[in-house]
Structure 1
Amino acid sequence: MRVAAIRMLRRALLGSLAPRTRQTVRTAAIAILSALALVAIFHLAKLAEHPVSENVVDGAGEDWRGGKEFAKAVADAGGVNPVQDIWVHGRKVAIHPILNVPVDRDFLTQDVERIRKLNRKQSRPANSTEVEKTLELVRQTVESDRKQMSSKSLRLWSPGETPLRVLLVTTWRSGSTFLGQVLANHPGVFHHYEPFSSRGVRQVRSGRDAFQAQQLLHRLMDCQFAGQDEYLNYTRSHPEDMLGHNKVVWDACHNGPNANACFNATFLTKACQMFPIQLVKTVRLRLNLTQLFLNDEKMNMKVVFLVRDPRATMSSRYNSVSWCSDKPDCSSPEVLCSDLQADLKVATALKQLYPQRFTMVKYEDLATDPQPQINNLMNFLGLEFSQEIARYVEEHTQVDVNSPWSTKRKSSDRVSMWKKQLPLQEVHTIQNACESVLKTLKYEVIGQ
């Protein structure tokens, strides 16, 4: 019946037309239908690319690098909270309360280029305006910290005062990450974390390597980042390792208009200069290379030498990390204790030459009695052992988080853990290689 009705309607419409006119109408109709079909195919293709349901844009999270960034763009456009229904460009846009993505396809189509620009700006270098805006975030935090300082530490913030420079020297798996973070939690600290990381699992002892390391260290301590291409390139490829320990700067970069400000030499130089305390933590620099800085009184340098029982150090290297096993500077107890023995001789001389600027700390003392030991260290540095730092120490030494890089671990339990982890034969091997070091540091030797 439906087919017959269509045929009758077609005869009624076309029957009275001349053959040539009828052919023209047919051609026009086919052209119109073809055009409509192409439009339909185009929209179906776009829909397949960005499928839209009645409630949510399914592909938004993948196509635009996450719903949160997209919701931020919506908020920027509408100037309101993105978790509500809002009107943007005259259209109502609903934000899914859980997935946090837009639900109106028309809005997505209209603003897709703007959203892509929002994402692209995170993959290009920061411009001067973005650098200045990020610096202002750093400046606000530093100024807030300054206002909370006691008179003991406030002198460091005086205009023209030489920054306090603190160099924390040790070797891999000796507890330096925890101690470095304790010091970095003091207000006004710019934390240069492992500046020689680009050298890999290798110690810097002498020769050209030593000269280059001393040059880099001097420039970083003086907030001179321009020209440090190797350092900046490594920081760019390992941002969280290199800058994640520098909370004020890291947060400013990620809350600012372009996170890539963190890799800009001008930004790092100006940000660094705002901080009255420069802290370097390194596991790759041997102690003999620090005298150059201690000998220059204008540097206002203090060196903290952190040591640990070599049996515990080797146990941690064997059992906690995988990158150490095929690197002689890390996997060999003979190399470890040869370095330690040389360091201890240097430490004796530095303590005599610079009693107010050099100190040695044993990991075991920190682990078993952290609060008094940190208090003593803060006094040596001329800094305040504040309630905030006391809480940080308490929090990070009284819980059990068994991760090699965690600063939150029950530290007293880790002092003797090597006795459970190392086979007795391995203990004897390390003790034979480290006899002089164990004796100097007064560590008990387990019987043969």
Structure 2
Amino acid sequence: MPKYERFGDGGERGGAEGVLDASKTNQYGATPTDAAGPNTPNAEPAQKKCTPGSSSSSSSSSSSSSSSSSSWSITTISHPSTINIEDSDKKYVAMETNKPKSWLAAYNSLAPRTRQTVRTAAIAIVSALALVAIFHLAKLAEHPVSENVIEEPPKGEKLEGEAQNWGGEDVYKAPNGKAFGAQGLANLQSGSEAGPAPAWLGAQFDAGVRNGGVGGVQESSPVLDVLARARPAPIHPILNVPVDPEFLHHDIERLRKRQRAEKRPANATEVAATLALVRRQVEAERKQLNGKNLRLWSVGEAPLRVLLVTTWRSGSTFLAQALASHPAVFHHYEPFSPRGVRQVRSGRDAFQAQQLLHRLLDCQFEGQVEYLNYTREHPEDMLGHNRGVWDACHKGPNFNACYNPSFLSQACQMFPVQLVKTVRLRLNLTQLFLNDERMNVKVVFLVRDPRATMSSRYSSVSWCSDHPDCASPDVLCSDLQADLKVATALQHLYPDRFTQIKYEDVAMDPQNQVHRLMNFLGMEFTSDTARFIMEHTQTDLNSPWSTKRKSSDRVSMWKKQLPLQEVHAIQNACGPVLKNLQYELVGQ
């Protein structure tokens, strides 16, 4: 079937545009007469002219029989490669064209100034595309897949392959592109916003699901929407972005292994290996000591047991750490922490506290379930103050050895000095231990100006305001007044095993005061202790639990922090205590 090309439509390209089909009629119902195209072998070089009504070929006669008032005229010109086609309304010229030049040849044929303009435009376009790509990649990394709150429970599309194993259950994909497990689907269908996270993923996964998981609301990102809907990829439980199923499976397995390792109790071999590290540390530090310090490790020498008793925000953490810097000290940090923010004064609480204290001073950790559970939940608070033990736990084959009662008992017995620092035990409960001379117990009672104590509680910690034992100046000074009466009696009964020390004296002259205290305890003031005191009293870190403070500036800081009305209220409640401790009154 002959084809005719429109003028200038590309010659031999043979495209769909500009091609006239000879079988089609024109707007008046006529069909063009047959003629040899410019590229057909039957094209005649002689000039021929066909007019309406004439018959120059069989095709023209057939055409004239079906033509209407307007018909085609075909003119064959002498040029061998060109045919003119004329219509009463339009003229078409089919002509042969050369093949298009390559883009490089076309570019080289341009003028130099034009080439420079083209280059500049190309660079600008490429730069713009690169910036757009970088922007969308940044959005992909920064924002999770956007989605709206699911008003109707999604039916879910079950994912196939390795994506099913991401959480130990079947994985489904919500219509909005979010992946979730079968449990999450059940919770959504029951009306909850987000299902519970698998236990092995921990709080971080649960927070990620509730802030941006199924049923959550996130900032919209078109690119991430497209990615979520383009493929049934699971969502990373922590990063909250679509990830490759194989990568997610590998990452989940790694997290599972780590969690299993963290929860697996230490076996006997691991406990023994960790104990060997503690023993090696103790032996290395003992070789650097001499004189009085070596006597602490003498065979048959009863361990020295020290009770440091005070109340919250009285400077006991610094003083206890200064004593624990001695290599012979095992530090039992706040053993009554599981009881919360309340004081142990009498009754059943007092009996249980004395029992626990007696066992800890004897290095007997077996059966102390509440204490060991709290230690597992707060390992750095309870064990981090024992440098040798803490380092061995990190270097050992299984950190859970630190929660093993057998390990703690044996490690504790390697140290000849047992130090207990507590802010929850009132002084009257220590007499039971002072009465037993075989226990070799010494008590240190630390006191501080109640105005400074209350100022520190108000400004440094938030948990104190919800508990009367900590927030009330009346309760503080009532306990202090009772403790001071007991201190007077203990000083008279046990002058060699009881001492009272003021925080202000330690803050103004820490080196000499700690030196005097260690002499009272029968311990030598070492270079490590002197270095610790220097590092922690010459710098100031503004943190409630930091022991690095410029101690001399802390003595009178309460005068700047407390309003005068609050100062008067504390002084009215603590008048006898302030007088007994010889603190000056303000505003009177």
Whether these two folds match at TM > 0.5 is yes
Is 2:304 the counterpart of 1:164?
Answer: yes
1:137-164: CA deviation from partner (whole Å, max 9, x where unpaired): 1111111122112211111101232111
Quote the offset at 1:260 in angstroms.
Answer: 0.8
Amino acid at match of 1:239: P
CA distance in 2, matches of 1:154, 1:199: 37
User: Partner residue of 1:352?
Assistant: 492
User: Partner residue of 1:183?
Assistant: 323
Could you tell me whether the CA contact under 8 Å between 2:537 and 2:551 is conserved in 1?
yes
User: Partner residue of 2:390?
Assistant: 250
Amino acid at match of 1:172: W
CA distance in 2, matches of 1:42, 1:292: 68
1:179-220: CA deviation from partner (whole Å, max 9, x where unpaired): 010011001111000000000000000010000000000000
CA distance in 1, matches of 2:387, 2:318: 15
Q: 1:154 aligns with which of 286, 294, 297?
A: 294
- Structure 1 segment 263-342 matched on structure 2, within 5 A: 263-342=403-482
CA distance in 2, matches of 1:247, 1:404: 21
For the residue of structure 1 that corresponds to 2:271, the secondary structure is helix
Amino acid at match of 2:426: R
Quote the offset at 1:404 in angstroms.
Answer: 1.1
For the residue of structure 2 that corresponds to 1:278, the secondary structure is strand
For the residue of structure 2 that corresponds to 1:167, the secondary structure is strand
Quote the offset at 1:391 in angstroms.
Answer: 1.2
Q: 2:507 aligns with which of 347, 352, 367?
A: 367
Could you tell me whether the CA contact under 8 Å between 2:162 and 2:249 is conserved in 1?
no
Amino acid at match of 1:373: Q
Is 2:543 the counterpart of 1:385?
Answer: no
- Structure 1 segment 1-400 matched on structure 2, within 5 A: 117=257, 120-400=260-540
CA distance in 1, matches of 2:353, 2:162: 60
Quote the offset at 1:241 in angstroms.
Answer: 1.2
Seen in structure 2, the aligned counterparts of structure 1 residues 402 and 115 have a Cα distance that, compared at 3 Å, is closer
Q: 1:402 aligns with which of 520, 542, 560?
A: 542
Amino acid at match of 2:567: V
Quote the offset at 1:355 in angstroms.
Answer: 0.7
CA distance in 1, matches of 2:580, 2:494: 20
Seen in structure 2, the aligned counterparts of structure 1 residues 271 and 425 have a Cα distance that, compared at 3 Å, is same
Quote the offset at 1:325 in angstroms.
Answer: 0.2
User: Partner residue of 1:99?
Assistant: none
Quote the offset at 1:358 in angstroms.
Answer: 0.5
The answer for unaligned runs of 5 or more in structure 1 is 1-40, 47-62, 66-105
User: Partner residue of 2:581?
Assistant: 441
For the residue of structure 2 that corresponds to 1:324, the secondary structure is helix
User: Which protein is bigger by CA-based radius of gyration?
Assistant: 2
Seen in structure 2, the aligned counterparts of structure 1 residues 115 and 231 have a Cα distance that, compared at 3 Å, is closer
CA distance in 2, matches of 1:437, 1:44: 69
Higher relative contact order (CA 8 A, sep 6+): 1
CA distance in 1, matches of 2:423, 2:249: 52
Quote the offset at 1:110 in angstroms.
Answer: 10
Is 2:431 the counterpart of 1:431?
Answer: no
Quote the offset at 1:230 in angstroms.
Answer: 0.8
Seen in structure 2, the aligned counterparts of structure 1 residues 301 and 43 have a Cα distance that, compared at 3 Å, is closer
Seen in structure 2, the aligned counterparts of structure 1 residues 64 and 252 have a Cα distance that, compared at 3 Å, is farther
Quote the offset at 1:225 in angstroms.
Answer: 0.4
The answer for unaligned runs of 5 or more in structure 2 is 1-159, 166-199, 203-245
User: Partner residue of 2:179?
Assistant: none
Amino acid at match of 1:251: D
1:282-302: CA deviation from partner (whole Å, max 9, x where unpaired): 000000000000111101111
Amino acid at match of 1:267: F
Is 2:529 the counterpart of 1:417?
Answer: no
Seen in structure 2, the aligned counterparts of structure 1 residues 438 and 127 have a Cα distance that, compared at 3 Å, is same
CA distance in 2, matches of 1:282, 1:342: 17
CA distance in 1, matches of 2:415, 2:570: 42
Amino acid at match of 1:314: M
For the residue of structure 2 that corresponds to 1:280, the secondary structure is strand
Quote the offset at 1:239 in angstroms.
Answer: 1.1
Quote the offset at 1:109 in angstroms.
Answer: 9.9
For the residue of structure 2 that corresponds to 1:125, the secondary structure is coil
TM-score scaled by length of structure 2: 0.57
CA distance in 2, matches of 1:118, 1:308: 46
Structure showing the higher helix proportion among its residues: 1
CA distance in 1, matches of 2:520, 2:427: 19
For the residue of structure 2 that corresponds to 1:302, the secondary structure is strand
CA distance in 2, matches of 1:325, 1:111: 43
Seen in structure 2, the aligned counterparts of structure 1 residues 42 and 366 have a Cα distance that, compared at 3 Å, is same
Quote the offset at 1:122 in angstroms.
Answer: 2.2
Could you tell me whether the CA contact under 8 Å between 2:307 and 2:442 is conserved in 1?
yes
CA distance in 1, matches of 2:310, 2:556: 20
Seen in structure 2, the aligned counterparts of structure 1 residues 111 and 340 have a Cα distance that, compared at 3 Å, is closer
Amino acid at match of 1:426: E
Seen in structure 2, the aligned counterparts of structure 1 residues 319 and 43 have a Cα distance that, compared at 3 Å, is closer
CA distance in 1, matches of 2:254, 2:351: 49
1:30-56: CA deviation from partner (whole Å, max 9, x where unpaired): xxxxxxxxxxx969999xxxxxxxxxx
CA distance in 2, matches of 1:229, 1:43: 42
Seen in structure 2, the aligned counterparts of structure 1 residues 238 and 111 have a Cα distance that, compared at 3 Å, is closer
**CA-atom RMSD, angstroms?**
2.5
User: Partner residue of 2:209?
Assistant: none
CA distance in 1, matches of 2:361, 2:162: 59
Could you tell me whether the CA contact under 8 Å between 2:163 and 2:249 is conserved in 1?
no
Q: Which moved more, 1:175-184 or 1:124-133?
A: 124-133
1:223-245: CA deviation from partner (whole Å, max 9, x where unpaired): 00001111111111111111111
Could you tell me whether the CA contact under 8 Å between 2:324 and 2:331 is conserved in 1?
yes
CA distance in 1, matches of 2:391, 2:548: 21
Could you tell me whether the CA contact under 8 Å between 2:317 and 2:547 is conserved in 1?
yes
CA distance in 1, matches of 2:562, 2:548: 23
In the alignment of these two chains, the number of paired residues is 354
Quote the offset at 1:326 in angstroms.
Answer: 1.3
